[in-house]
A and B are shown apart, each in its own frame.
Chain A
Amino acid sequence: MASSICLCLLRAVFLVCFVNPLIQGLSGDVNLVQDPRHRLEKNLTGLSIVTFDWHHVQTPYLVITWVFVAGLAKLSVIELNHHVISVVPESGLLIILGFILGGIVWGADKAQTFKLLPPTFFYYLLPQIILDASYFMPNKLFFSNLGSILIYAIFGTCWNAATVGLSLWGCYEAGVMGNLDIGLLQFLLFGSLIAAVDPVAVIAVFEEVHVNEVLFILVFGESLLNDGVTVVLYNVFDAFVALGGPRIDAEEIFKGIFSFVVVAFGGSFLGVVFAVLLSLLTRCTKHIQIIEAGFVFVVGYLAYLTADMLSLSAILSVTFCGICCQKYVNANMDEKSVTTVRHAMKVLANGSETMIFVFLGITAIDTEIWVWNTGFILLTLLFVFIYRIIGVFLLTWMLNKFRLVPIEVIDQVVMSYGGLRGAVAYGLAAMLDKDKIPEKNLIISTTLIVVYFTVILQGITMKPLVQWLKVKRAAHADLKLIEKLNNRAFDHILSAVEDICGRIGDNWWTRGWNRFEENYISWLLMKPKARKNRDYLFSIFHKLNLEDAVNYVSEGERQGSLAFIRSDEVANVDFKKQFGSEFTDVMPDIMAIIEIVLSLVNKKDTIPSVSLDIHGKDRKNVADDINAHHLLQQHLYRSRKNHRHKFSRSHFSINQSEDEVQEIFQRTMRSRLESFKSAKMGVNPAKKITKHHKKDLTHKMANGHPDGTDHLYGDEVDSAVGSETGAIRGTFMRDTYTVRAGIENPVFLPAMDSPTHSSLPWLMETDAVAPSQRAQWRLLWTPNRLRRLAPMRVSTCSTDSFLMADLEEHEEKPQTDHEEEIRPVFD
């Protein structure tokens, strides 16, 4: 709390003392941009060692100062008292801070020198936010709900625009607003600019209110796609206003409708073109990986500007550019570049959003623009609110007849309440031509008030509203343990059966598209290596490998040396969390898999356990009923229904539910492997080996740094899941369930066929390979297919490459199943 006060004071002081005198000092030469080299003043009497030269740096200085101030604003908002933050959304606080800052500047200057100018907003602040939103968009979710999103975006916005405009006009005609110089067309123009739900505001508020993913994507997608409509409506009505009433006939109206088609689809198409360009670029940047991250931003921005130049919908262009390119760009680029892009994108988007909200606040403090007309303003607020609700409910009612998974009432309420207006509306209002629309200031004032109302007030009340509705729906606050457990179990059951039945969007079209996409588009846009590494299973194990190895080595270092590994009877270590170690849940996997492998091959069935001695912490004694409830609450895995939140302005790393998903996935894999093991133990295996294309990968991996990019970032799990390779379907699963299938894992083969096979060195060889290597191998050997830690143990030396020996044996196996394995699985 103290720090935030300090920061506020600091900012205020900074502004007042430093910036204002500078501004005041620049009384004549405001717009002069001088050549920095011409420092020679007219009356140069002697050499001045140091000069104070404001003019030369003025423009960039002011810009940077304001960025800095916005950053400080965000910092102080975050540092604020926790209570305040949990009630008022961040965006609201930023606006309020903007008020304060605006007040300071106003106080010093008596005029608002710093305003949110439309060009600044539209060209420098907005594009990166949209790019960020689209780059992290969960594609599968988006496209499976695209129909609904489009309905809301197109018809919802048109409905809003028309009804608000017409109602206001009706009220004006009824005389409620007094005397205004305004006509029907101008009302419609106003309606069209106030109708659009704003992506910036929506993200800002919904991020704090965790809603289920379908609801989120509907509102979010709508806010992005309605720009197509808004731009068209705005331009059409602007042109109509300029033309004047009498000249509008059917032809013009048809042109207006047609322009919608052109603008919207043209913008989207342009976005896709730029996405293709970007993907191709990243495909070719293997040797200049350092700058490939920059391409994303440059091309994204180009998409925006090009669309704007052609008077198409710029937001749609950037949106589709981001949506279409994410998969290929993430696959093609180096891991570091991917991280760079993500991080930089978030920084830019966050910064822009902060600046937008702060400036929205500052702009308010300006006596010039304020025109108060009670009737107009209040009626606008009322109509905007009501028609949004009506529109949403109406459209949802219609949509639910066609949707596979209907949208529930509570979601509709949140959707209608979440129709926030934001800076886009203000920008459009500020762009109005004062000559054509004399009441421009009134419109600006009203727009600002609507924006403040929705962002601040609706933002504050959104969370309590959601909670109240949910609590009401839950019907029982206090469920017994068994009820809670079963509730969650039912959610899981339902998700599973939905998956079995084929969820929404699984039909001939999606399968056909997926096939087309995999075979042709990916071939064109993805690097060949990236294509092979789309294997989801593989990427999970790659990630596990990295984690395992890091953890293992660091633990070994902690213990002093790796020599302990050779001994058989060191006391057991428990890698479980209860001992407070920092190991993730991944570690038990090593143990399990090693156990399995060793017990299978080692006929004695004694498992040499590798252990480290870690002293245990005191275990908590769970005796309380409360604890049990609490545990269930905390640790039950969430199902698809329970809010797997997928987009966040400030976090791009894997969110917790993705960790959960991974955990579940690992456990499932492990248990399948175990059941395979038990199945195998009871049956005589056939000798068939099917070569799996993964061997290519493992081979590649053995030879060097794995090229596979890590697909496990939040949204990418989504796209990877949506990707087509039948990884899981592959031989792995076949082993588990088909009791009489051939053993495909060559590790098990040696046990049957050739006991002298060199794949299990620690059993065969008694003398020394260098301890570290051998120790590592002993621990890290896993079934061939898994090769979990193989890439970390690269050795090109022929003598000690157990991998190589193993591989050679199977190189010649016919690749009959190669095609089969790549065949996509469309579920």
Chain B
Amino acid sequence: MGSTNSTLLKIPNVEVLMQETGFSPAHIIRLHDRFKALDKEGRGHLCPHDFGAIKELAMNPIGDRIIGAFFSPGKETVDFHTFVKILAHFRPVDKDRPKEPNSPEPINSRSNKLKFAFQLYDQDKDGKISRDELLQVLRAMLGMQVTDEQLESIADRTIQEADLDRDDAISFEEFRKSLEKINIDHKMSIRFLR
């Protein structure tokens, strides 16, 4: 497409963006198109209701939380950079990336993916998933048939399994440890963002 370069030029700081996130120009353009499509009023940034307009998200039990994850605390808009950076979490892991000792971890590393997931649970950002927060997540993800006692019992049991230092909350380390066996790279990667 002849317009590739011109589109790229229109995006400010595109080089930095590509560097940080590891997306190729084609992907950036695709995401930019998507961003513009979501931003119907053409303001250059997205609001929560732009996300809310995506029908399928309304049918996702934790859709609203994920929308919330795009917005830094206090901010009500998402600009393109933030949008891309957050989506960068879902890039498949680059297996053959040379390990440079001093460079920061790429956004799509396993650890950062887990951090993203962790922050979905940990709404108050205190670094721990409290029992209440877990209950909220469970409530969202389980059908209405499950009663509150059953819910609490599941929450208790879950914390029991994961909580190693017995503080009745799951810290990030405990979270990470409990998910050792799961192939995070596979489960939290969207192939077409490669």
Task: List the interface of chain A (C-beta within 8 A of B).
Answer: 404-406, 475-476, 479-483, 485-502, 504, 506, 511, 536, 576-578, 585, 588, 619-623, 625, 627-628, 631-632, 634-637, 639-640, 660-661, 663-665, 667-669, 671-672, 721, 726, 728-729, 733-734, 736-739, 823, 825-827
Contact = CB atoms under 8 A, between A and B. Distances in A.
Interface stretch (B12-20, B45-53, B101-109): B45-53
Point out which of A489, A511, A628, A663 has the most chain B C-beta atoms below 10 A from its C-beta: A489
Interface in B16-40: 31, 34, 37-38, 40
A672 B57 contact: no
A721 B55 contact: yes
A493 B31 contact: no
A476 B182 CA distance: 9
B61 A492 contact: yes
B64 A500 contact: no
A492 B90 CA distance: 13
Interface string B34-76: 1001101000000111011111111111111010000000001
Given A737-B47, A738-B47, A502 B34 contact: yes
B52 A493 contact: no
Tell me whether chain B's interface is mostly helix, strand or loop, or mixed: helix
27 contacts: A475-B181, A479-B181, A482-B158, A489-B62, A489-B117, A490-B184, A490-B188, A492-B61, A500-B51, A501-B193, A536-B55, A576-B147, A620-B150, A621-B149, A622-B150, A622-B153, A628-B150, A637-B61, A663-B143, A668-B59, A671-B64, A672-B52, A729-B49, A736-B49, A738-B49, A825-B53, A827-B53
Contacts of A404: 191-192
B55 A827 contact: yes
Point out which of A504, A635, A736, A825 has the most chain B C-beta atoms below 10 A from its C-beta: A635
B117 A497 contact: no
B162 interface: yes
A823 to B, nearest CB: 8
Nearest to B159: A482
A139 B55 CA distance: 17
Point out which of B62, B141, B143 has the most chain A C-beta atoms below 10 A from its C-beta: B143
Contacts of B192: 404-405, 501, 504
A668 B141 CA distance: 11
Nearest to B83: A500
Nearest to A485: B158
B187 to A, nearest CB: 4
Given A404-B191, A672-B52, A728-B53, A635 B146 contact: yes
Nearest to A662: B59
A578 B37 CA distance: 44
A487 B182 CA distance: 8
Contacts of B142: 631-632, 635-637
Point out which of B58, B158, B179, B192 has the most chain A C-beta atoms below 10 A from its C-beta: B58
Given A728-B52, A827-B55, A668 B190 contact: no
B79 interface: no
B4 interface: no
A827 B37 CA distance: 8
Contacts of B150: 620, 622, 627-628, 631
Given A497-B90, A499-B54, A501-B192, 20 more contacts: A405-B192, A481-B158, A482-B158, A486-B178, A486-B182, A490-B188, A494-B187, A494-B188, A497-B66, A500-B34, A501-B34, A660-B143, A671-B64, A728-B53, A729-B49, A736-B48, A736-B52, A825-B54, A826-B37, A827-B54
Contacts of A501: 31, 34, 87, 190, 192-193
B190 A498 contact: yes
B74 to A, nearest CB: 12
A739 B137 contact: no
Given A502-B37, A671-B64, A728-B58, A491 B187 contact: yes
A619 B34 contact: no
B143 A635 contact: yes
Nearest to A720: B55
Interface residues of B, number: 57
A180 B84 CA distance: 67
Contacts of B76: 739
Contacts of B193: 501
B45 to A, nearest CB: 13
Given A485-B141, A497-B90, A578 B117 contact: no
B173 interface: no
Contact of A623 (B34, B37, B49, B153): B153
B154 A628 contact: yes
Contacts of B51: 500
B157 interface: yes
B161 interface: yes
Given A489-B62, A665-B58, A483 B179 contact: yes
Given A485-B158, A635-B146, A490 B187 contact: yes
A490 B118 CA distance: 11
Give me the 3 closest cross-chain CB pairs, A-B, nearest first.
Answer: A737-B48, A729-B53, A585-B144
Nearest to B143: A635
Interface string B174-188: 000011011010011
A500 B54 contact: yes
A293 to B, nearest CB: 30
B93 interface: no
Nearest to A404: B192
A482 B162 contact: yes
Given A483-B182, A631-B146, A496 B58 contact: no
B138 interface: yes
B6 interface: no
B120 interface: yes
Nearest to B181: A476
Contacts of B34: 500-502, 506
Nearest to B183: A475
B145 interface: yes
A496 B117 contact: no
Contacts of A493: 62, 66, 117, 120, 188
A63 to B, nearest CB: 47
Contact of A668 (B48, B58, B144, B191): B58
